[in-house]
């Protein structure tokens, strides 16, 4: 019996020739990641255990992104704790205000994720790096502390769901629409502790930014990780970013899957997720006309350059509707610079949008766009749980950058093809 992509990576990390679904292994880590919310908890546990050294200062990344620049005294204290730890242990990859970005956009951009690597992060959306053929998954802060000290982590080898993609996406349809469609198909626990393994001729038509979005939201179907094969587009992305050797793993022809799902990309429509679950999906046609008060375009899911280009193309020469707040958040400083160079930032400002420094901000109801009572937002973020962006009476609709931008212009959920 053969192995999936994920199983091959975990076998390498454990120093084993073969692993099977359900097997417990101890694997070597290539990167341990944390942010300004989760790292302080890990630091406290690290120090409480009497640990005094990290396993490798080059294989730890700390990104201050959730509430930076700091929004209040508590967030400032948490960031100060991270700064002190990073300085004490000479952490190579420490990203503070002015250098940081939303962590799951910054890590690939900086070349800290590569095919075949094992990455854990004290953030559930660490599964993003599967777009590069890595095994990456979210863990708790205690696991982060242990990983920083030992460079090791325990894993239960996941079984896998094979997601075969066919055809090509139509105009105004993106990776966000695909992953929302998939979550709507299988449910928020449809891939519980499994690997979502994408394959098929349709993969070649997906840009890297689409793949990052898809893997980012694997956790929203309960998956342990999401992963794509390493093809020419992935290799092109890695060039100039990753100069170390890496191994790209492919699934064996006789790999075992718990389920197989086939999606024809050409049949997908722009898709949204209504409150209060990412699986509560509708096509944009079914949700059209629902009024909104706020639009958020950004996050670790959809704050990359392709996302900003799609949104700017719709907002260019138009105005945000009266009574609507539109907030645009480039995911990294480099993306911000690239968007400026292309004139996208001017497009947003001229349309009446607010443009923020990179931050997670409104996604978790932190800052830069918290909702008030009974307000509705359409957002390119990844979760629309009760109270996620504000009071429990507020509502979040998840959407692609194109749908979010079109809705900003009209003030209601809108198909971008209809503008």
Residue 363 has pLDDT above 90, yes or no: no
Q: Is the pLDDT of residue 392 over 90?
A: yes
Q: What whole-number distance in Å separates Cα of residue 166 and Cα of residue 100?
A: 36
Q: What is the mean pLDDT of residues 361-382?
A: 93
| pLDDT band at 102; cut points 50, 70, 90 | very high
Q: Give the model confidence (pLDDT) of 61-81 as tens digits.
A: 999 999 889 999 999 999 999
Alpha-carbon distance 145 to 42, whole Å?
Answer: 5
Domains 5-263 and 272-418 share a fold: yes
As a whole number, mean pLDDT of residues 199-227 equals: 97
Measure the CA–CA gap between 71 and 339, rounded to whole angstroms.
25
CB-CB neighbours of 167 under 10 Å: 15
DSSP designation for 321 = P
Model pTM score = 0.95
CA atoms of 146 and 150, how far apart (whole Å): 6
**Mean pLDDT to the nearest integer, 192-218:** 97
Give the 3-state secondary structure of 360-380: CHHHHCCCCCCCCCCCEEEEC
**Of all helices (H) and strands (E), which one includes residue 281?**
strand 281-283
CATH pick for 272-418 out of 3.60.150.10, 3.30.499.10, 3.90.420.10, 1.20.1740.10: 3.30.499.10
Tokens of residue 272, six digits = 């949204």
Strands 24-28 and 152-156: antiparallel
Tally: H helices and E strands in the chain: 14, 18
Distance CA 214, CA 228 (A): 10
**Gap between the Cα atoms of 184 and 384, Å rounded:** 14
- Reported as a pLDDT band with limits 50, 70 and 90, residue 311 is very high
Chain segment 270-298, per-residue pLDDT in tens: 999 999 999 999 999 999 999 999 999 99
DSSP-derived 3-state class of residue 260: strand
Q: Which strands make up the sheet holding 93-95, listed edge to edge?
A: 93-95, 60-63, 31-35, 118-121, 135-138
Multiple choice CATH, 5-263, 3.40.50.10260, 3.40.50.11540, 3.30.499.10, 1.10.600.10: 3.30.499.10
User: What confidence score (pLDDT) does residue 68 get?
Assistant: 84
Q: Which two tokens stand for residue 302?
A: 């959809």
What is the chain's mean pLDDT, rounded?
96
| pLDDT per position as a tens digit, 6-53 | 999 999 999 999 999 999 999 999 999 999 999 999 999 999 999 999
Q: What does the domain layout of the chain look like in residue ranges?
A: 5-263, 272-418
């Amino acid at each position: 019996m053969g192995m999936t992509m994920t199983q091959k990576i975990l076998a390498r990390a454990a120093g084993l020739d073969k692993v099977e679904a359900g097997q417990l292994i101890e694997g070597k880590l290539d990167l341990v990641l944390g942010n300004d919310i989760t790292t302080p908890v890990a630091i406290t546990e690290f120090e409480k255990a009497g640990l005094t050294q990290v396993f490798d200062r080059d294989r730890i990344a700390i990104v201050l992104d959730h509430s930076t620049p700091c929004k209040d005294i508590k967030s400032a204290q948490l960031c100060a704790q991270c700064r002190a730890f990073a300085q004490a242990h000479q952490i190579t990859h420490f990203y503070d205000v002015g250098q940081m970005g939303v962590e799951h956009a910054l890590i690939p951009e900086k070349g800290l994720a590569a095919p075949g690597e094992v990455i854990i992060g004290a953030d559930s959306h660490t599964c993003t790096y599967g777009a590069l053929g890595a095994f990456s998954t979210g863990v708790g802060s205690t696991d982060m502390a242990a990983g920083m000290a030992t460079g090791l982590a325990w894993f239960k080898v996941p079984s896998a769901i094979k997601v075969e993609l066919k055809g090509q996406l139509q105009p105004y349809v993106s990776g966000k629409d695909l992953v929302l469609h998939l979550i709507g198909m299988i449910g928020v626990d449809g891939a519980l502790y499994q690997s979502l393994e994408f394959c098929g001729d349709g993969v070649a038509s997906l840009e890297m930014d689409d793949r990052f979005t898809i893997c980012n939201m694997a956790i929203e179907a309960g998956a342990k990780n999401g992963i794509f094969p390493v093809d020419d587009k992935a290799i092109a992305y890695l060039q100039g970013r990753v100069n170390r050797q890496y191994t790209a793993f492919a699934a064996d022809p006789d790999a075992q899957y718990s389920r197989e799902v086939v999606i024809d990309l050409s049949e997908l429509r722009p898709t949204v997720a209504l409150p209060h679950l990412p699986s509560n999906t509708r096509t944009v046609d079914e949700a059209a006309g629902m009024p909104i008060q706020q639009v958020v375009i950004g996050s670790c899911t959809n704050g990359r350059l392709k996302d900003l280009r799609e949104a700017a193309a719709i907002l260019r020469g138009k105005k945000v509707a009266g009574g609507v707040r539109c907030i645009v958040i480039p995911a990294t400083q480099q993306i911000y610079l690239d968007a400026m160079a292309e004139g996208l930032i001017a497009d947003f400002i001229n349309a009446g949008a607010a443009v923020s420094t990179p931050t997670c901000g409104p996604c978790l109801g932190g800052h830069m766009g918290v909702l008030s009572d009974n307000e509705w937002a359409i957002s390119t973020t990844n979760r629309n749980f009760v109270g996620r962006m504000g009071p429990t009476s507020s509502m979040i609709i998840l959407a692609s950058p194109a749908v979010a931008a079109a809705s900003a212009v009209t003030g209601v959920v809108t198909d971008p093809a209809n503008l």
